[in-house]
Every structure is written in C-alpha cells, then in structure tokens.
C-alpha cells in the first residue's frame, strides 16, 4: 500500500511539473500571440495607410482586403461596398493584365515582381503603376488567394518621358550644334584660305607699292631734272627774247634812219635835178 502511494505521489509530482511547464508554455504562447497580434495590427495599419495601393483577393478573385489608397483610387467610399462583394475585375474602370497576375499567383503559387500596368480609375484619371503580386498562404501552406501592391509611378514615368523628350531635343540640338560646328569649321577654313590669299595679295601689293614708290622717286627725279632743263631753257629763251627785242629795237631804229636817208636822198635828188636845170638854163 505504501509503495502504491509512493508511486501515486511520484506521478502526481510529475503531473504537477508538467502542469507548471504547460502553464509556462501557455503564458509564453499567449505572449507570442499578443506580439504577433501587435505586429499584425501594426502591419495591417501600415498596409491600410501606405501610399501604395494594396488589394487582396480570395481564390475566386473576390476582394477580401483593400487599403485607403486603393479605396480612394477606386472611387468608392466604404469598404463594405467592396469586401467580399466585388470581383477585382470590377474595381477599376479599365485595367490591364493585372487580373492575370492574380490568377497566376493563385494557380502557380509564385510571386510576380515589378510589372508595369496602366489603370484608369473611376474618377477618369489614367495612372501608371508598378505591380508586385504574390499568393496568400495560410499556416498549412494552402493558397487562399493573392495580393497585389500597386506603386504609383505616374510622376516618375512622366518625368522619364519628359527626360526622354529633353534628351531627344538635346540630341537634336547637339546634331544642329555639330552641323553648325562643321559649317563654322568650313567657314574658318575658307577664311583661313581667304586670309592666305589676302596675305599673298598684301605681299604682291607691298611689292607693287615698293615698285610704285621706286617709279615715283624715279619720276620725281626725272621731273626735277626736266624742270631744271626747262628752267634753263626758259632762261636761255628769255635771254634770246631780250636780245631779239634789243635787235628789233635796233632794226627799227635803222629802218627809221634809212627812211630819213631815203627822204633826204630824194630831196637831194630833186635839188640836184633843179640845179642841173638851172645850170642848163644858164648855159643856154
């Protein structure tokens, strides 16, 4: 009897020990659940309020989760209008192949990263998104649906498009600048050739100028000599003129004397004739 009691007490002790371990494990498990609940709440809060659009669907593509950004973009005001009631294909006014992404994630159980898609929201705005999608798996590893995170890259795409246009304009400007540089180079070469021709012309002009200068000096010397000759000739001629004037005056004087002598001779002739007549008369 005592042995059975000892065995029973031993088993009771083991059960008490196991019970204490279970209570400790339960408290640890409760704490882990609390931590996981806090993390879930935090993650859920992040997903609800992130700037990216987040949508989760079940295996029938019915929406089971939608965050504030996606709700706002969809044009609906309340989640109750969407959750469990709306097919993801009806969420946007128009959309691309992202429905196929959900189907592929559910069917093949694999994630899809950074797929670009253009979506027209119900407010008429066309936006470009980068979509990351993947399957939703429970603790048993079963696929229960799929999720998609839409990152709005509209501004980046517009900026990229503007950058592309700017680069194209810059390339055109560079081509025009290159053409202008080539024209400038050609013009520079032409100017250089013209400058060389001008330098050659200047050399020729310099030679001609020197020749003209030499000819001018020679001509001036010839003019000086000729002028001196003409002045000497003028002086000689002046002397001759003076001599001629004197000779003319002398000749005129002689002619006057001759005229007087002739007149006197005529008078004397007349006197002689008269005297002869008188003499004859006397002799007769």
The pLDDT of residue 59:
93
Rg (CA), the chain: 70
> Do 66 and 38 reside in the same domain of the chain?
no
Find out whether 99 and 89 touch, Cβ atoms under 8 Å: yes
Find out whether 42 and 124 touch, Cβ atoms under 8 Å: no
Q: Is 241 helix (H, G, I), strand (E, B) or coil?
A: helix
Over residues 33-87, the pLDDT tens digits come to 665 555 545 545 555 557 788 999 999 999 999 988 888 887 777 888 888 888 8
Antiparallel, parallel or unpaired: β 53-58 and 143-152: antiparallel
φ and ψ of 124, to 5 deg: 85, 5
Residue 22 included in any domain: yes
Q: Is 96 helix (H, G, I), strand (E, B) or coil?
A: coil
> Do 141 and 100 reside in the same domain of the chain?
yes
Of 109, 129, 152, the residue at which a domain comes to its end is 152
Number of structural domains found in the chain: 2
Q: Is 112 helix (H, G, I), strand (E, B) or coil?
A: strand
Residue 159 included in any domain: no
Number of H helices, E strands in the chain: 4, 5
Quote the tokens at residue 124.
Answer: 């008429």
> Do 103 and 22 reside in the same domain of the chain?
no
Residue 251 included in any domain: no
Residue 181 included in any domain: no
The pLDDT of residue 69:
84
Of 104, 119, 152, the residue at which a domain comes to its end is 152
Q: How far apart are the first and last CA of the chain?
A: 258
The pLDDT of residue 43:
47
Residues with pLDDT less than 50, the chain: 40, 43
> Do 39 and 27 reside in the same domain of the chain?
yes
Helices marked H in 68-153: 68-74, 98-108
Quote the tokens at residue 242.
Answer: 């003076």
Residue 168 included in any domain: no
Following DSSP, what letter does each residue of 161-181 receive, concatenated?
HHHHHHHHHHHHHHHHHHHHH
> Do 107 and 13 reside in the same domain of the chain?
no
Residue 116 included in any domain: yes
> Do 23 and 89 reside in the same domain of the chain?
no
The pLDDT of residue 40:
46
Name which of 25, 26, 66 is nearest 49 in CA terms: 66
Residue 258 included in any domain: no
**What's the pTM?**
0.50
The pLDDT of residue 5:
64
How far apart CA 212 and CA 205 sit, in angstroms, is 10
Longest dimension (CA), the chain: 258
Quote the tokens at residue 140.
Answer: 């048993």
Residue 85: domain span: 50-152
Question: Which residues on adjacent β-strands are paired with residue 261?
Answer: none
> Do 15 and 41 reside in the same domain of the chain?
yes
Q: What is the dihedral of CA 177, 183, 186, 190, to 10 degrees?
A: -130
Quote the tokens at residue 185.
Answer: 């180079």
> Do 44 and 65 reside in the same domain of the chain?
no
Residue 227 included in any domain: no
Of 135, 152, 169, the residue at which a domain comes to its end is 152
The pLDDT of residue 225:
83
> Do 35 and 104 reside in the same domain of the chain?
no
> Do 55 and 42 reside in the same domain of the chain?
no
Name which of 154, 100, 98 is nearest 126 in CA terms: 154
* CB atoms near residue 107 (< 10 Å): 13
> Do 63 and 118 reside in the same domain of the chain?
yes
How far apart CA 191 and CA 59 sit, in angstroms, is 80
> Do 58 and 136 reside in the same domain of the chain?
yes
For residue 86, the domain's CATH number is: 3.30.450.20
């Amino acid at each position: 009897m005592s042995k059975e009691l000892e065995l029973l007490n031993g088993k009771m002790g083991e059960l008490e020990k196991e019970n204490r371990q279970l209570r400790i494990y339960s408290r640890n498990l409760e704490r882990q659940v609390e931590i996981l609940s806090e993390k879930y709440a935090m993650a859920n809060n992040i997903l609800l309020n992130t700037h990216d659009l987040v949508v989760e669907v079940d295996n029938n593509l019915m929406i089971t989760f939608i965050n504030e950004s996606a709700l706002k973009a969809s044009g609906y005001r309340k989640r109750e209008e969407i959750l469990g009631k709306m097919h993801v294909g009806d969420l946007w006014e128009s959309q691309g192949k992202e429905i196929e992404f959900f189907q592929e994630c559910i069917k093949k159980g694999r994630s899809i990263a950074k797929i670009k898609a253009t979506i027209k929201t119900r407010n008429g705005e066309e936006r470009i998104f980068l979509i990351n999608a993947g399957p939703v798996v429970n603790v048993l590893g079963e696929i229960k649906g799929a999720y998609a995170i839409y990152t709005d890259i509209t501004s980046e795409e517009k900026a990229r498009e503007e950058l592309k246009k700017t680069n194209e304009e810059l390339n055109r400007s560079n081509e025009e600048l290159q053409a202008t540089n080539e024209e400038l180079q050609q013009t520079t070469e032409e100017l250089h050739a013209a400058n060389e021709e001008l330098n050659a012309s200047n050399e020729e002009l310099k030679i001609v100028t020197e020749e003209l200068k030499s000819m001018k000096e020679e001509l001036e010397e010839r003019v000086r000599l000729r002028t001196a000759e003409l002045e000497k000739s003028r002086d000689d001629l002046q002397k001759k003129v003076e001599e001629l004037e004197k000779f003319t005056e002398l000749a005129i004087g002689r002619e006057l004397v001759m005229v007087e002598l002739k007149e006197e001779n005529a008078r004397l002739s007349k006197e002689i004739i008269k005297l002869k007549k008188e003499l004859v008369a006397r002799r007769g």
